[in-house]
Amino acid sequence: MKNLRNFAIIAHVDHGKSTLADRFLELTDVVSPGKHEEQLLDRNPISRERGITIKLAPVQMAYKEFILNLIDTPGHVDFSYEVDRTLSCVEGVILLVDATKGIQAQTISNAYKALEKNLTIIPIVNKIDLPHADVEKTKSQMVDFLGVKKDTIFEISAKTGLHVPELLESISKKILSPPQKTEEPLQALIFDSYYDPHRGVIAFVRIFTGKVKRGDSLLLLQQGVSFDVLETGIFAPELKANESLGAGEIGYIVTNLKDIHKVRVGDTITVKKSDLPPLPGYKKAQSMVYASIFTTDTNDYLNLKKALEKLYLNDSSLEFTGIHSKALGAGFRVGFLGLLHADVVRERLEREHDLSLVLTPPKVEYRKAEKQGEIMEPYVKLLIVTPREYMADVMRLSEQHRGVFITMDNKNQITLTYEMPLSEMITDFFDDLKSVSSGFASLDWEFLEYRNVSADKMTILLNEEPIEEFSEVVVAERAYETASKLVKKLREIIPRQQYEVKIQARYKGKIIASERLSPFRKDVTQKLYGGDRTRKDKLLKKQKAGKKKMKLVGRVEIPKEAFLKLFKRSD
């Protein structure tokens, strides 16, 4: 195992991780140049179409006398938990920076994570072949922000393969081999898993001590679940069975367990009756935003349930519970890691399971404080990287979104640290940030804590009857603005009735916004041909009295389409 090297590629989104992985696969003869799809390790069609990695991908390569285990990681902040668990399994990382964009927020965030785990970092400037690449400026930024030495930074083009062979040689020399602990009792960390309908849960593992082979009786420490190993193997990149896995290796174990909930990412696999402590893993991904999902055809509810359960088998960060809406029927409240995660899940459900869905606008989860009547909201820590000329506009925008300034690092790129309510960050902040910085600013964030906030439930009333589907928790300083927009939108999308409809927003016991939907008038006199005017007046008076009675005893008719239009208001 002295010739074994475990490493990952980390970078900001779209800096060329998967393209570099392709060049490695070609140089090590895993695939033939020009005879494979680009971004080979991005298996998901949505990942390919969007041009972003949304799932970690391991692969084993042979280079000279070395065995290289590579894990390609996602770059988007919503999937940073995939990076966290990857870094627990490797001894080194390639830190990739796009020479046309320079250091960006997740470059810094990922570098800090690697440093915290004391991993070997190989700094790389990529895309040096592009005409607008600024290699020297990018290298200076890497020296400033990451503290690396300028002469240790590689200059490559992952697209053309320029200097990639030299990089591959450097990996074998600079990254340390894993500790040799094959004779000790088994300890393996689960860093991913998926469900196979024939062979049960297949766990992706890093073996830290001991070895494992087919037929071994093992134990999942956290769950207390025993199983017999059906198969072990490596990623080639497809699953390839072998005789055993030993200390330092990255591979898979076929558990034959039929319940995905029993095989948790971060759990430790060991031998039965072991008194070994669990390996330091990582926490389960925490849902940050929540949305409700309904089918446009209520008969598809069971299909949606099956689709979510199937999706959970390969995305354990997903959480969902059943709910019911008077207007939209049965559905699910689903927790997501962020807005991109929500969008990817929706698209996968619709495309892979042929469902027509409505996803309500994602919201944060408010909590009741221990003190009676107080509400708490989630706060996040933002790291914003921006060119100097956009700093003032970025700071102004952050303050408009209730951001609290913490620190600033004044180098050739400005890094700003803010603490901000999560509800503000998911409300157009990222789009506005790109707008005020001409697309140059980048953002990374992490959850901080729940803090007290002046907020309450805003209830929408239609003719004084509360409509729960339109109600939500709103922060006091946003209440009037939110209420005004919402009642106006409802006035536009609710069909006119035979009687007047009052649309009101109630907040802290007061009506803070209202609109009036005038009735349509049915022509009750159309059957009269001429004749006495008093007959028409009598019919109209009778109609008016009837409408008054309808208003008192009737409910406002709201077609399903109106709900769908409202829930798409943030599109």
Is 201 found in the same domain as 158?
no
pLDDT over 60 at 529, yes or no: no
Up-side HSE of residue 391: CA atoms within 13 Å toward CB?
A: 15
Distance of alpha carbon 202 from alpha carbon 213, whole angstroms: 14
The residue out of 121, 150, 174 marking a domain boundary is 174
The residue out of 409, 425, 453 marking a domain boundary is 453
Distance of CA 225 to the CA centre of its chain: 30
pLDDT over 50 at 9, yes or no: yes
Q: How far lies 315's CA from each of 269, 294, 348, 426, in Å?
A: 20, 20, 12, 22
Is residue 196 in some structural domain?
yes
Distance of alpha carbon 188 from alpha carbon 371, whole angstroms: 44
Q: Which region, left, alpha or beta, applies to residue 531 given φ > 0 means left and ψ of -120 to 50 means alpha? A: left
Each residue's pLDDT tens digit, 469-480:
788 899 999 999
State yes or no: 129 annotated in a binding site. yes
State yes or no: 215 annotated in a binding site. no
Is 353 found in the same domain as 498?
no
According to the model, what pLDDT value does residue 54 have?
62
CA-based nearest residue to 508, from 561, 457, 461, 435: 457
State yes or no: 73 annotated in a binding site. no
The parent domain of residue 43 ranges over: 4-174
Is 54 found in the same domain as 161?
yes
Is 148 found in the same domain as 34?
yes
The residue out of 327, 359, 391 marking a domain boundary is 359
According to the model, what pLDDT value does residue 340 have?
85
State yes or no: 409 annotated in a binding site. no
Is residue 517 in some structural domain?
yes
pLDDT over 80 at 45, yes or no: no
CATH number of the CATH domain containing 55: 3.40.50.300
Is 344 found in the same domain as 300?
yes
Looking at the DSSP bridge assignments, the partners of residue 67 are 4, 62
Is residue 278 in some structural domain?
no
Distance of alpha carbon 83 from alpha carbon 240, whole angstroms: 24
Distance of alpha carbon 255 from alpha carbon 183, whole angstroms: 23
According to the model, what pLDDT value does residue 311 have?
84
Say if residues 239 and 252 touch (Cβ distance below 8 Å): yes
Is 379 found in the same domain as 355?
no
Amino acid at 8: A
Distance of alpha carbon 320 from alpha carbon 106, whole angstroms: 28
Is 142 found in the same domain as 10?
yes
Is 309 found in the same domain as 262?
no
CATH number of the CATH domain containing 245: 2.40.30.10
How large a percentage of the chain has pLDDT more than 70? 86
Each residue's pLDDT tens digit, 95-150:
999 999 999 988 888 899 999 999 999 999 999 999 999 999 999 999 988 888 99
Is residue 444 in some structural domain?
yes
According to the model, what pLDDT value does residue 282 have?
57
Q: In 3-state terms, what secondary structure has residue 488?
A: helix
Is 502 found in the same domain as 427?
no
Give the pLDDT mean for 528-538: 61
Is residue 480 in some structural domain?
yes
Is residue 477 in some structural domain?
yes
Is 374 found in the same domain as 355?
no
Contacts 24+ apart (CB under 8 A), 272-277: 272/217, 272/218, 272/219, 272/226, 273/219, 274/185, 274/186, 274/219, 274/221, 276/185, 276/187, 276/221
State yes or no: 126 annotated in a binding site. yes
Q: Which two tokens stand for residue 466?
A: 């509360």
The 8-class DSSP code of residue 363 comes to B
pLDDT over 50 at 547, yes or no: no
According to the model, what pLDDT value does residue 313 have?
72
State yes or no: 128 annotated in a binding site. yes
CATH number of the CATH domain containing 323: 3.30.70.870
Is 293 found in the same domain as 332?
yes
pLDDT over 90 at 39, yes or no: no
How large a percentage of the chain has pLDDT more than 90? 56
Give the pLDDT mean for 272-299: 83
Is 234 found in the same domain as 144?
no
Is residue 540 in some structural domain?
yes
Cut 0.85: pTM above it: no
pLDDT over 50 at 5, yes or no: yes
Packing angle, helices 17-27 and 164-174, rounded to 10: 90
State yes or no: 132 annotated in a binding site. no
According to the model, what pLDDT value does residue 223 have?
87
According to the model, what pLDDT value does residue 571 have?
40
Q: Number of folded domains in the chain?
A: 5
Query: Average pLDDT over the chain, rounded to whole?
Result: 86
State yes or no: 14 annotated in a binding site. yes
Distance of alpha carbon 544 from alpha carbon 540, whole angstroms: 6
CATH number of the CATH domain containing 379: 3.30.70.240
Higher pLDDT, 564 or 79: 79
Each residue's pLDDT tens digit, 220-242:
998 899 999 999 999 998 999 99
Distance of alpha carbon 294 from alpha carbon 309, whole angstroms: 15
According to the model, what pLDDT value does residue 548 have?
44
Is residue 280 in some structural domain?
no
According to the model, what pLDDT value does residue 277 have?
85
